[in-house]
């Protein structure tokens, strides 16, 4: 979100009478399941830096409890859990719902499309992304309200062997989400293997996979990935996952107008903060690891990144043809990317 937009939202919160008072415990705590492992630096940052701010913004009337992935229900079942009241909401990967409609795959990660999380933030907040996501939920899941969507980091690539360009992907066993992500790797000559992020370390250690398109550099560092995968690619080459923040429509309707504005404003500010924090943290860790000399950190040249994007564009088009909503999502991305000079 740009500074002007954030300032306007904060001013609106003030006009609606939201104070900076901090209560001992919020009157209402929304249980939100995330797509983060308990060890992820992203979850720790949000819990420590931003969850308390929501309580302050609402004068103690509202806060959230951010739960790790699979804490209450399996990761692909959060939307149903929200619909029936098991969860109040989720802050999770849109890709988890790709099996419901290919539109979710295109909405969740336009593989090799965007160059930065900042561009995705703009697509969601200003380019129609949030509205498109709401349309998908209205079509497939009853009673889910989209508060916002965005990304905080381009996923780094961890590998036990050096991968310096598209040609080196040939035959490589790569952990990848199902659907569009796996399709792009397959088109590039790799052998994608579907597994959850929590299984990645063990699979690398045992040789089940050679590499993984797996979370932010800082999260991989926290999870110990670089102890066994000595050839990370940074910045990443493939995925910039878009995460959604949704709540039950019933929960949303029960919030006061001031609390609704606060929740939207809090999310936008928190994800801007998270993006900036991870950009700094990732680069600090990369500089540290380069100086230590135990890892070879690979940065693909632009011509190799462009070559992978060209392969990915064929997959985007194929997925777009699989449903009417997928075509709408594809068109929304392409229109925004053309305006942003990415295509």
Between 239 and 141, the more confident residue is 141
Rounded mean pLDDT of 165-194?
Answer: 92
How far apart (Å, rounded) are the C-alpha atoms in residues 61 and 18? 10
Structural contact between residues 128 and 334, judged by C-beta atoms closer than 8 angstroms: no
Q: What angle do CA 204, 206, 208 make, to 5 degrees?
A: 65
* Residue-level pLDDT at 18: 35
Q: At what angle do helices 302-320 and 180-187 cross, to 10 degrees?
A: 130
* Residue-level pLDDT at 158: 95
Kindly state the greatest CA–CA separation across the chain.
59
CA distances 85 to 72, 194, 266, Å, are 12, 30, 23
Judged against a pLDDT cut of 90, whether residue 14 lies above it is answered with no
Judged against a pLDDT cut of 90, whether residue 24 lies above it is answered with no
HSE-CB for 201 with a 13 A CA cutoff: 12
Judged against a pLDDT cut of 90, whether residue 191 lies above it is answered with yes
* Residue-level pLDDT at 92: 96
Between 236 and 136, the more confident residue is 136
Least confident of 16-20, 174-178, 324-328: 16-20
How far apart (Å, rounded) are the C-alpha atoms in residues 216 and 207? 22
Judged against a pLDDT cut of 60, whether residue 5 lies above it is answered with no
Q: Which tokens belong to 275?
A: 């993006």
Give all domains of the chain, ordered by start, each with its CATH number.
Answer: 3-148+240-281 (3.40.190.170)
Rounded mean pLDDT of 226-251?
Answer: 94
- % of the chain residues with pLDDT over 70: 93
On the 0-12 / 13-18 / 19+ scale of CB atoms within 10 A, 48 is exposed
* Residue-level pLDDT at 19: 34
Average per-residue pLDDT for the chain? 89
Rounded mean pLDDT of 165-181?
Answer: 92
- % of the chain residues with pLDDT over 90: 75
Judged against a pLDDT cut of 80, whether residue 17 lies above it is answered with no
* Residue 148 CB neighbour total at 10 angstroms: 24
Q: Which tokens belong to 162?
A: 């050096």
Structural contact between residues 66 and 34, judged by C-beta atoms closer than 8 angstroms: yes
Rounded mean pLDDT of 237-244?
Answer: 90
* Residue-level pLDDT at 176: 87
Q: Which tokens belong to 209?
A: 């996979």
Q: What is the pLDDT of residues 35-67, one digit of tens each?
A: 988 888 889 999 999 999 999 999 999 999 999
Between 179 and 243, the more confident residue is 243
Judged against a pLDDT cut of 90, whether residue 316 lies above it is answered with yes
Q: Which tokens belong to 73?
A: 């229900």
211 bridge partner residues: 159, 174
* Residue-level pLDDT at 341: 85
Which residues, in sequence order, are CB contacts of 325 under 8 Å at separation 6+? Answer: 101, 103, 135, 136, 139
Q: What is the pLDDT of residues 126-138, one digit of tens each?
A: 999 999 999 999 9
3-state secondary structure of 285: helix
Rounded mean pLDDT of 81-104?
Answer: 95
Judged against a pLDDT cut of 80, whether residue 12 lies above it is answered with no
Which residues, in sequence order, are CB contacts of 193 under 8 Å at separation 6+? Answer: 173, 174, 175, 176, 203, 208, 209
Judged against a pLDDT cut of 60, whether residue 3 lies above it is answered with no
Length of the chain: 343
């Amino acid at each position: 979100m740009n500074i002007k937009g954030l300032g306007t939202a904060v001013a609106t919160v003030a006009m609606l009478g939201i104070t900076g008072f901090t209560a001992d415990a919020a009157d209402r705590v929304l249980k939100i399941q995330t797509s983060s492992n308990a060890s992820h630096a992203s979850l720790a940052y949000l819990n420590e830096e931003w969850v308390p701010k929501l309580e302050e913004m609402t004068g103690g009337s509202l806060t959230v409890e951010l739960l790790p992935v699979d804490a209450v229900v399996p990761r692909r079942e959060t939307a149903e859990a929200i619909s029936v009241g098991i969860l109040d909401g989720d802050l999770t990967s849109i890709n988890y719902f790709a099996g419901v409609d290919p539109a979710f795959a295109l909405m969740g990660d336009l593989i090799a499309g965007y160059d930065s999380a900042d561009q995705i933030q703009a697509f969601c907040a200003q380019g129609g992304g949030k509205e498109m996501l709401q349309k998908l939920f209205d079509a497939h899941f009853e009673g889910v309200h989209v508060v916002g969507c965005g990304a905080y980091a381009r996923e780094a690539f961890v590998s036990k062997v050096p991968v310096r360009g598209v040609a080196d992907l040939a035959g490589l066993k790569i952990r990848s989400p199902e659907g569009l992500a796996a399709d792009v790797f397959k088109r590039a000559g790799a052998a994608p293997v579907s597994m959850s992020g929590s299984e990645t370390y063990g699979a690398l250690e045992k040789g089940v996979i050679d590499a993984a398109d797996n979370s932010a550099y800082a999260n991989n560092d926290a999870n110990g990935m670089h102890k066994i995968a000595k050839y990370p690619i940074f910045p990443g080459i493939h995925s910039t996952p878009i995460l959604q923040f949704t709540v039950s429509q019933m929960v949303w309707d029960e919030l006061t107008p001031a609390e609704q504005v606060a929740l939207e404003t809090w999310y936008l500010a928190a994800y801007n903060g998270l993006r900036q924090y991870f950009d700094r943290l990732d680069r600090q860790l990369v500089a540290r690891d380069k100086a230590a000399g135990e890892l070879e950190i690979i940065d693909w040249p632009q011509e190799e990144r462009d070559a992978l994007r060209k392969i990915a564009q064929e997959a985007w088009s194929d997925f777009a043809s699989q449903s009417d909503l997928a075509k709408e999502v594809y068109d929304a991305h392409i229109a925004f990317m053309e305006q942003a000079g990415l295509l």
